Amino acid sequence: MNMRTSNGVKYDVIIGLEIHAELATKSKMFCSCDNDAQGKEPNTAVCPICLAHPGTLPLPNKQAIEWTILIGLALNCRINELSKFDRKNYFYPDLPKGYQISQYDLPIAYDGFLEVDDKPILITRIHLEEDTGKLIHPAGKAYSLVDYNRAGTPLIELVTEPIIKDAATAKKFAQNYQQILRFLDISNADMEKGEMRCEANISIQEKSKWKYANGQIKPIGDYKLNPKVELKNINSFKYLEKAVDYEIERQIKAVENGEKLIQETRGWNNDKSITFSQRVKETSADYRYFPEPDIPPLKINQAWIDKIKARIGELPAQKIKRFKEEYLFSDYESRILAGDQDLAKYTEQVVSELRAWIKATGDNWERQKHKLAKATANWLINELFKLLKTDNLSIKKLKISAENFAEFIALTYQGKVNSSAAQTILAEMYKNGGDPTQIMADLGLEQLDDKETLEKVIAKIILKNKPQAEQYKAGKTNVLQFFIGQIMSATKGKANPKLVLELLKASLSK
């Protein structure tokens, strides 16, 4: 949906995103303090530099610069050969210097794009800066506390062009960006922990009364543009979508009611599901940006860019595409299996083991791979994930090696175990690891395929349940389920279900 209608007037929705992400470097942006303050006492991961003691000098973190170039290249950006840091001046208790070292007119990366549903969303810039400390407001107390552990953490800020037209696309953009940050292993980008923070600039305009050109929104004729509202304090993708949707509706209603919209910053209230005014927005002039005098400009030459570029592997979108083409996974399966670096690696190891096994049996891999990939995806997504989710574990903690998982798939594929026995084997492998063939033998779970044995069991059960057998002959075919249940329990769930059904029908019809 890119257009809202109200009272017969049509509106265009204009959304731009600003996303901050903390880089997971070892040390902070301008000093050698530990950048991981998780679980540390407040104000223990600090030094005179990040506390802004007089006379200290900032020394830029090379890793942070390289990672900013890396994410820029991954998002199809151009890299400024000459970049620099600037001071953004403002006062806030969590900002010890009284200014933030950021980048103003020469960001490291600019002019890129990230695809959402196969459509490029243009990225204006990605620059590098430092994070602030954290203010803590103890409940019921008349004071606030400040923790500077986070002060000086490297922070990258991505800004999109104001060309997003609906809340769902804004959410997907942020999700895809998070996926790439994690793929490149440069940020945990957890929104709940504040490692990734999204802000959305939103305005609505009467349709066709404005145009977007040269990076700016311009009115047509003497038509006035509505001011934009900046949404802040959103800590999940779900709330990002909700807040943007709420704000679009609020602005349209305001215009319809003849209320004047003002340029302001609004926050999101999770409990009430509304946005609320926080402050009237500063313009960049208020920040009085000027070049950081203590850090020389950054020269980024092509050789350095090429070296970093060589490190970018396959990105999520490419991997998803390849999973579909190469392994014939469905779109849904590919998005899940290729969407996470560790899971993608595991899946590929499993498939590669299966390929080796099929080749060893002398069969044709190309002919069998669809069925095997399907079985792999099914067991991974529908069974293994459920177990991992129950225990809140990541695939990294999985005790089942790719080799053993492939062997497990091969067992089910060959029909050596039926699906209920397979579930038992998988649960055991999940708990203690181990070889599935061995587990199958130890637990006596090998599928019962012997016709004579099964016929004997079936005959006994029919004899014990004569009334039900009569019902079947009278046309009540749903008693089959009753018999199958009896047979399965008599064989401890090991009987081949297909064969059981076939033999049972034959015996009952005698």
In the complex, the residues that contact Zn ion under the rule CB under 5 A are: 31, 33, 47, 49-50
Q: How far apart are the first and last CA of the chain?
A: 63
CA dihedral 318, 319, 325, 328 (to 10 degrees): -150
Total site size for Mn ion, rule CB under 5 A: 1
CA distances to 161, 167, 200, 273 from 239, rounded to whole Å, are 21, 10, 12, 9
Binding-site partner at residue 387 among Zn ion, Mn ion, none, CB < 5 to 8 Å by type:
none
8 Å CB contact between 49 and 60: no
Longest alpha-carbon distance in the chain: 99
Cα(34)–Cα(451) distance, rounded to whole angstroms?
68
Q: Name which of 153 and 418 has its Cβ closer to Zn ion.
A: 153
Least Å from the CB of residue 126 to Zn ion = 24
Q: Please list every residue from 143 through 162 that binds Mn ion, using CB under 5 A.
A: 157
Binding-site partner at residue 33 among Zn ion, Mn ion, none, CB < 5 to 8 Å by type:
Zn ion
Least Å from the CB of residue 34 to Zn ion = 9
Binding-site partner at residue 292 among Mn ion, Zn ion, none, CB < 5 to 8 Å by type:
none
Q: Please list every residue from 380 through 409 that binds Mn ion, using CB under 5 A.
A: none
H or E segment to which residue 17 belongs:
strand 9-22
Cα angle value 208/168/327 (rounded, 5°): 125
Q: Name which of 200 and 487 has its Cβ closer to Mn ion.
A: 200
Least Å from the CB of residue 94 to Zn ion = 15
DSSP state of 383: I
Cα(277)–Cα(484) distance, rounded to whole angstroms?
65
Q: Name which of 150 and 369 has its Cβ closer to Zn ion.
A: 150
Binding-site partner at residue 157 among Zn ion, Mn ion, none, CB < 5 to 8 Å by type:
Mn ion
The mark string for 157-196 relative to Mn ion (x by CB under 5 A, - otherwise) is x---------------------------------------
Work out the burial of residue 382: count CB atoms within 10 Å of its CB; fewer than 13 is exposed, 13-18 middle, 19 or more buried: exposed
Q: Name which of 93 and 415 has its Cβ closer to Zn ion.
A: 93
Least Å from the CB of residue 132 to Mn ion = 10
Three-class HEC string of 255-276: HHCCCCCCCEEEEEECCCCEEE
E-assigned strand segments in 253-353? 264-269, 274-280, 290-291, 298-299
Binding-site partner at residue 247 among Zn ion, Mn ion, none, CB < 5 to 8 Å by type:
none
DSSP state of 434: -
Residue 318 one-letter amino acid: Q
List all residues 6 or more positions away from 473 whose beta carbon is below 8 Å from its beta carbon. 508, 509
Q: Residue 177: which of 233, 121, 229 has the closest Cα?
A: 121
Binding-site partner at residue 166 among Zn ion, Mn ion, none, CB < 5 to 8 Å by type:
none
Least Å from the CB of residue 46 to Mn ion = 21
Q: Name which of 33 and 191 has its Cβ closer to Zn ion.
A: 33
Binding-site partner at residue 13 among Mn ion, Zn ion, none, CB < 5 to 8 Å by type:
none
Which strands make up the sheet holding 86-89, listed edge to edge? 99-102, 86-89, 290-291
Q: Name which of 155 and 170 has its Cβ closer to Zn ion.
A: 155
Binding-site partner at residue 50 among Mn ion, Zn ion, none, CB < 5 to 8 Å by type:
Zn ion
Give the residue at shortest CB distance from Mn ion: 157
Cα(382)–Cα(406) distance, rounded to whole angstroms?
16
Binding-site partner at residue 31 among Zn ion, Mn ion, none, CB < 5 to 8 Å by type:
Zn ion
Q: Name which of 5 and 32 has its Cβ closer to Zn ion.
A: 32
- Other Cβ atoms less than 10 A from the Cβ of 187: the count is 23
Cα angle value 243/283/259 (rounded, 5°): 50
What distance lies between CA 88 and its chain's CA centroid?
31
Binding-site partner at residue 184 among Zn ion, Mn ion, none, CB < 5 to 8 Å by type:
none
Least Å from the CB of residue 51 to Zn ion = 7
Least Å from the CB of residue 227 to Mn ion = 21
Cα(391)–Cα(397) distance, rounded to whole angstroms?
11
8 Å CB contact between 132 and 50: no
Q: Name which of 157 and 230 has its Cβ closer to Mn ion.
A: 157
Least Å from the CB of residue 150 to Zn ion = 11
Q: Name which of 22 and 245 has its Cβ closer to Mn ion.
A: 22
Least Å from the CB of residue 377 to Mn ion = 41
Q: Name which of 46 and 69 has its Cβ closer to Zn ion.
A: 46
Q: Name which of 132 and 334 has its Cβ closer to Mn ion.
A: 132
Least Å from the CB of residue 204 to Zn ion = 44
Least Å from the CB of residue 92 to Mn ion = 13
Cα(333)–Cα(40) distance, rounded to whole angstroms?
40
Cα(135)–Cα(194) distance, rounded to whole angstroms?
13
Instruction: Name the residues that contact Mn ion, by CB under 5 A.
Output: 157
